[in-house]
Structure 1
Amino acid sequence: MQLNNQTYQIQGVDVLAIADEFGLPLYVYDADKIIEKIGLLRSSFAGVNLKIKYAAKALTNVSILKLMRQQGVEMDSVSVNEARMGMLAGFTPDQIMFTPSGVSFEEIREAIDMGLQLNVDSLSLLEWVGQNYGGQVPVSIRINPHISEGGNIKISTGHADSKFGISILQRAEIKAIADQYQISVTGLHIHTGSDFKNAGAFLKGAEVLFALASDYPNLTFIDFGSGFKVAYKEGDHITDVAELGRQVSAAFRDFCQQYGRDLELWFEPGKFLVSESGHLLVKTNIVKENPTRTFVAVDSGLNHLIRPMMYDAYHDIKNISNPTGSEKTYNVVGYICETDTFATDRPLPDVRPGDVLSFENAGAYGFSMASNYNARFRPAEVLVYEGKPYLIRQRETFEDLLRGQVDVAVLNPETIEQVR
């Protein structure tokens, strides 16, 4: 989002005009920013056979999935319903990686019947695949490398105590099961978490997978997951993707030469592709001056952006109604009946009731983790594509809150009175 002549714009469209047209609160996504991130990844890994698999859990709107497919990006899913959405967006089953975590065998069977690429996360699942399908279903193996790097522990997935992946210490057991049932292992996968600032974590993971690859002669790909760090505020240290591409590509080319043939190099970026594209626009309800704090209360809350409360995540906030106002310090809070804080002691241009604020980096895990807590509606979603805003999800209504609820007749007032 750019400030032009004191007006915040996305692709030349006034953000306040978008707010007026579609109402608040509102998620707005910039398609150009998503396309830019895809291009950065491709150019950084230009020397290898790269395949990008968008981690759809970050933002699963079908229109976003269609944009990814339009740009030649494939898909990573963690549930069969995500995969179904991908197929509605035009992905073919063979373009969708399915990486479950502790799901039922019934869902695994459904994914196999759909023709998805199965990524095996546990020895018990590998055994089940062997017992039920033998060598008929090609799989990749998700390895836990016991690497602990990156950001918040809640988003770190590669350490020894993580629930994700099969421990590298169980290498012999993996091979024994695969050999016993003649399972076709076509890929090796690793995802150690998020917010890696340099290539070190990826190269450590690469060493683990490259060594393991000698157990499996029929591999077609190595999958490094993701974890690229994005900027949440000015001056944030981010992953140098170009340098990452240079180092990892060189290591991968050396590995392929030793392995005896070229494989595909896969990445599964989610947050990296969509985070910076997203803006959650909200309206200031009240400015509440207490003796020790001044609170800005907005028409949104942790039900629309849970990351600050769940991960202590920092999101930049812009006052797009009064960008040149004198700076003051505020606690920005939501309307949920819980401790619901977006920012503490945050300097902002003078905020007045009715001002529109924008929470930045709201493209990843904003709507996808949103809820109806406190019986609140989830916002509409808008995609700005080629200089025009498009509604890609309608705002919820009261009828949406009631959908699926069943009115039990014995609880009706007249029935209760008859019982008495």
Structure 2
Amino acid sequence: MAKFENMPQAIKPTHIQGISLESIAEKYGTPLYVYDGEKITNQVHAIQKAFQGVPLKIKYATKALSNISILKLIKNAGAGVDAVSLEEVRLGLMAGFQPSEIMYTPSGVGFDEIQEAVDLGVMINLDSLPLMRKFGEVYGNKVGACIRINPHIMAGGNIKISVGHKASKFGISIEQLPEILEIVKEKNLRILGLHVHTGSDILDAEIFLRGANVLFETAFKFPDLEFIDCGGGFKVAYKEGDPRTDIQEVGEKVSKAFQQFCEKYGKQLELWLEPGKFLVSESGYLLVKTNVVKKTPTITFAGVDSGLNHLLRPMLYDAYHDVYNLSNPDGNTHTYNIVGYICETDTIASDRELSEVREGDILVIKNAGAYGFSMASNYNSRLRPAEVLVWEGKPHLIRTRETIEDLTRNQVVIDI
């Protein structure tokens, strides 16, 4: 079994690249997403180093964080794009990626989206038998494509982020391989790649190898392959003592197995990976201001100027985010429930030991780089925050805070 690194998460940064988080909050206001660009590029380079023995292409899972400036940063670090919507494809193109650097993996979209993506020149990942048939009827072997295989592997820290099991909507069941091959032959499809993605927050690094082995065994049925795509799902640490994927060991094991496969296949293929959270999660901090400290007979609530509209993960699948008090780091500790201002049960963190929280204190929510802004909404007609990227020792505003005009821009008010 591959090892995991136990990374201490008790670190409570007050600065990023020498820039005070408090000064950033003062300048841009709260709530505010702040990203450490150096951390993002270091994560890209860590994967590149771990898999340096094979022809590797990293396809960043854009759904994690799709700000164009972040995409440009990742492009400059040497990665490509994994897009799950036509809009993400277009954002990738706007960030400067070439169509050949973009993998498009939709789920259940209309065929008009597929056609538009083909016209844009990106790689299409086919994830259903009906889509394979339609694609073959329209394009035959004129447009190469990839096939997403469901390997029937249960993986991921939560059932909602496990996508490779037998009951998942994603991919084509490995048990349907005969039907896949029949369609490929009948429609004269040109299959250039095979893809698998088992889930996120995978606790057992061997899962990556199991998924890869499914593709290795399947690949011999497809003579024209150019790449094998093993997806993503590398685990990051959320709290002190939390395990994270030892990317170096995973890289060595998967690379060795991949090279052995290529020797048997008789051709050197490319290995593609699709990390998302791994690249951006730990780079991100959500800065919030304490509006009220509310004591009850049993609980002390710290109510902040943010909520599930800016960080949905805790309410969506009980995700853990470390929180600390930036304004009063040396105060006596007390137990708090950190709650948002949304009119729902809106708990960001429960039973947390924080240095004394006072009205006006800035709290920092860690691991907000992935699925923070990208899942943000205007629920309760609240506005979405600004985003700041710290790069080369300077804070850069990469998205302005929304205004009421943004909220109403597309509304059509009629006379009633």
TM-score when normalising by structure 1: 0.96
* Per-residue deviation, residues 347-384 of structure 1 (Å, max 9, x unmatched): 11110000000100000000000000001000000000
For residues 121 and 53 of structure 2, the distance between their equivalents in structure 1, rounded to whole angstroms, comes to 30
User: Identity rate of aligned residues, in percent?
Assistant: 61
Residue 415 (structure 1) aligns with: none
Task: Tell me how far 1:39 sits from its aligned partner.
Answer: 1.1
* Per-residue deviation, residues 44-75 of structure 1 (Å, max 9, x unmatched): 11111111000101000000011011111100
For residues 317 and 153 of structure 1, the distance between their equivalents in structure 2, rounded to whole angstroms, comes to 25
Residue 141 (structure 2) aligns with: 135
User: Is 1:289 matched with 2:295?
Assistant: yes
1:138 maps to amino acid: G
User: Is 1:390 matched with 2:393?
Assistant: no
Q: Residue 14 of structure 2: SS of its match in structure 1?
A: strand
Partner of residue 187 from structure 1, selected from 190, 193, 196: 193
Equivalent positions of 1:26-105 (< 5 A) are 26-105=32-111
Q: Which has the larger radius of gyration?
A: 1
Residue 231 (structure 2) aligns with: 225
For residues 8 and 69 of structure 1, the distance between their equivalents in structure 2, rounded to whole angstroms, comes to 28
Task: Tell me how far 1:20 sits from its aligned partner.
Answer: 0.4
For this pair of structures, how many residues does the alignment match?
Answer: 409
* Per-residue deviation, residues 62-90 of structure 1 (Å, max 9, x unmatched): 00011011111100101111111111110
1:17 maps to amino acid: S
Q: Residue 243 of structure 2: SS of its match in structure 1?
A: coil
Report if aligned partners of 2:89, 2:102 keep a CA contact under 8 Å in 1.
yes
Residue 373 (structure 1) aligns with: 379
Residue 417 (structure 1) aligns with: none
User: Is 1:309 matched with 2:318?
Assistant: no
Return closer, same or farther for 1:339/1:7 CA change in 2, 3 Å cut-off.
Answer: closer
Q: RMSD of aligned C-alpha atoms? A: 1.4
* Per-residue deviation, residues 272-325 of structure 1 (Å, max 9, x unmatched): 000000000000000000001000000000000000000100000011101111
Structure 1 consecutive aligned stretches of length 4 or more whose deviation exceeds 4 Å: none
Equivalent positions of 1:108-187 (< 5 A) are 108-187=114-193
Residue 418 (structure 1) aligns with: none
For residues 43 and 50 of structure 1, the distance between their equivalents in structure 2, rounded to whole angstroms, comes to 10
1:306 maps to amino acid: L
Partner of residue 362 from structure 1, selected from 363, 368, 371: 368
For residues 204 and 227 of structure 2, the distance between their equivalents in structure 1, rounded to whole angstroms, comes to 23
Task: Tell me how far 1:3 sits from its aligned partner.
Answer: 10
TM-score when normalising by structure 2: 0.97
1:52 maps to amino acid: I
For residues 54 and 47 of structure 1, the distance between their equivalents in structure 2, rounded to whole angstroms, comes to 20
